[in-house]
């Protein structure tokens, strides 16, 4: 059974700092990994999708890496802004998408 | 192109009542998924449709939950009778049937509160 863990559960950093969110999964036989963002009371917004054959994906200030063999992914956010405050979720796909519990990020102005 | 649409966005019902949630996937997406997030827990898989067929319903919590996808288009998730522990946010997602390594697109979710 796939299990996905995200560390830390919550993180507060001053505006402008770079930060890293971590995701680990137990079954490395995945097809892809997605990072999502969820704002309070809102749905899930897909940020980045990394295929199993890829090592990283970049979108603007976001960079996600994937080390499938070790069951790890990181989401790097550069030059953080208050608008980045949200809950960040990673999800891995084998037979179905399995989500982590998320990291609640707060950027302090 | 319209995204995944869910309604209602919020529903408050009394214990014992029935509620039906609806999901309209992105047009042409054969895969449709239902997920649920209860307070303080991770988002959990409920079931997966491929077109109108249930591919995997291993996540359905009990027989008070019934999902349908008649005609392979929109899907409904009925809870009857609702219990307090059913409160949470119900998400729907869809993806194309072009292989397993495709991106899932999520709706905004339906927040269900059972009182």
Q: What is the number of other CB atoms lying within 10 angstroms of the CB of residue A35?
A: 24
Chain A residues whose beta carbon lies within 8 Å of the beta carbon of residue B106: 36, 43-46
CB neighbour class for A79 (10 Å; exposed up to 12, middle 13-18, buried from 19): exposed
Chain A closest-CA separation from residue B91 CA (Å):
8
Give the span between the Cα atoms of B86 and B43, in whole angstroms: 13
Note the pLDDT tens digit of each residue in B57-89. 999 999 999 999 988 899 999 999 999 999 999
**Residue range A28-85, pLDDT digits in tens:** 999 899 999 998 877 889 999 999 999 999 999 999 999 999 999 999 999 999 999 9
Q: Please list, residue by residue across A6-18, b when 16 or more beta carbons sit within 10 angstroms of its beta carbon and e when fewer do.
A: beeeeeebeeeee
Distance CA B35, CA B66 (A): 13
Tokens of A29: 């036989």
pLDDT the model gives residue A1: 85
**Per-residue three-class SS string for B9-32:** CEEEECCCCCEEEEEECCCCCCEE
Per-residue pLDDT of chain B (115 residues; tens, 9 = 90+): 679 999 999 999 999 999 999 999 999 999 999 999 998 788 999 999 999 999 999 999 999 999 999 888 999 999 999 999 999 999 999 988 766 557 888 999 999 999 9
Element containing residue A72 per DSSP (H, E): strand A72-77
Nearest residue, CB atoms, A97 vs list B104, B107, B111: B104
CA dihedral for A70, A71, A74, A75, sign (positive or negative): positive
A19 pLDDT band (50/70/90 cuts)? very high
Residue among B91, B100, B105 minimizing CB distance to A31 = B100
Q: Is B25 near chain A, with CB under 8 Å? A: no
State mean pLDDT over A3-18. Answer: 95
B67 beta partners: B77
List the structure tokens of A24. Answer: 């680990």
**What are the two backbone dihedrals, phi and then psi, of residue A82, each rounded to the nearest 5 degrees?**
-55, -30
Instruction: Please give the helix or strand (H or E) that residue B56 lies within, else none.
Output: strand B53-56
A97–B33 C-beta distance less than 8 A: yes
Q: Report the residue of chain B nearest A5, measured CA to CA.
A: B42
A96 contacts B109? CB cut-off 8 A = no
Candidates A43, A93, A96; nearest CB to B56: A96
**Phi-psi category of residue B98: left, alpha or beta, with phi > 0 → left and psi -120 to 50 → alpha:** alpha
Rounded to whole angstroms, the Cα distance separating A94 from A55 reads: 17
Predicted local distance difference test score (pLDDT) of residue B59: 92
Q: Is B35 on the interface with A (CB under 8 A)?
A: yes
């Amino acid at each position: 059974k796939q299990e996905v863990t995200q560390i830390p559960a919550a993180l507060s950093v001053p505006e402008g700092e770079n930060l890293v969110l971590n995701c680990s999964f137990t079954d490395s036989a995945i097809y892809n990994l997605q990072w999502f963002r969820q704002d309070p009371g809102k749905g899930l917004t897909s940020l980045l999708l990394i295929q199993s054959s890829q090592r990283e994906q970049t979108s603007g200030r976001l960079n996600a890496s994937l080390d499938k063999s070790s069951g790890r992914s990181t989401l790097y956010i550069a030059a953080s802004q208050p608008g980045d405050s949200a809950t960040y979720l990673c999800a891995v796909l084998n037979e179905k998408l399995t989500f982590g519990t998320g990291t609640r990020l707060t950027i302090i102005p | 192109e319209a995204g995944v649409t869910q309604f209602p966005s919020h529903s408050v019902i009394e214990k014992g009542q029935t509620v039906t949630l609806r999901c309209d996937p992105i047009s042409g997406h054969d895969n449709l998924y239902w997920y649920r997030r209860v307070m303080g827990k991770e988002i959990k898989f409920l079931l997966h449709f491929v077109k109108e067929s249930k591919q995997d319903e291993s996540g359905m919590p009990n027989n008070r939950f019934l999902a349908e996808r008649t005609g392979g288009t929109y899907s409904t998730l009925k809870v009857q009778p609702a219990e307090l522990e059913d409160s949470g946010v119900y998400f729907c997602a869809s993806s194309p049937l072009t292989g397993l390594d495709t991106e899932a697109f999520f709706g905004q979710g339906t927040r269900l509160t059972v009182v």
